[in-house]
Structure 1
């Protein structure tokens, strides 16, 4: 297979995955728009993470796993593929400079549309996922 074919396939994969992620974040998993509900947000770093860790016995395992590990896992593919596709993004800092604003826009959108909340801990966990993906691929680049 040629390098250009592989690049096209990787772009198609990351674009398809991004569309699936948008679906999951705004429509999937039984999300309901809470019309008239107050805006939901957390701007205190690590507050939600600590809450889930401290009260893991009181929170369902699926909720705990999805909120902590799911927020990390769903962003790992971006750390794996984006640095391969864009050489200028082969740095933890450059990836953060790209993804932090994107994640914040997604979080703000969830809050404004009332299909979720803006949580700074989600930004932290999502970025951690990007960095884990980059760490993995960095070993092979």
Structure 2
């Protein structure tokens, strides 16, 4: 009985968090629809620009785009394997997360409400993997 309640609570937290995240990714942070499709397909290009030209960006922009893209996805690594037994193993977890975040990045680009940035996929995946590692360590 307690396990069922815990599972339902974790699912509610996860899906609430997912909705909040989708809001941030498509509407939050003063997003506006751009006139053109924006994308970056070169790994670490955006990250390199933020690091090399750190003095050209406000600190909040730097934090949101680097640390934020990692930190905001840690809960995925904590919650997904706790909710879905198949995702307790690294390969299925990694595959599901990368496919999901790639689809979201693609939707940001085609909706012109953001950009498709391979660096975001990399940073988001690092965050999810950090959460996954924490989950695995706590379960051991």
Could you state the TM-score of these two structures normalised by the residue count of structure 1? 0.94
SS at match of 1:57: helix
**Which is worse superposed, 47-56 or 85-94?**
85-94
| Distance (whole Å) between structure 1 residues aligned to residue 22 and residue 52 of structure 2 | 30
Aligned to 2:114: 116
Give the gaps of 5 or more residues in structure 1.
Answer: none
1:91 is displaced (CA, Å) by: 2.4
Deviation at 1:26, TM superposition (A): 0.6
What is the match of residue 11 of structure 1?
11
- Report the Cα distance in structure 2 between the residues aligned to 1:90 and 1:66, rounded to whole angstroms: 29
Equivalent residue runs for 1:74-113 within 5 Å: 74-113=72-111
Structure 2 unmatched ranges of 5 or more: none
Q: CA deviation at 1:71?
A: 0.7
Q: Per-residue CA shift, 1:20-40, capped at 9, x if unaligned? A: 111111111211112xx2211
How many pairs are equivalent? 139
Q: What do residues 21-67 of structure 1 show as CA deviations (whole Å, max 9, x unaligned)?
A: 11111111211112xx2211000011111111111122111000000
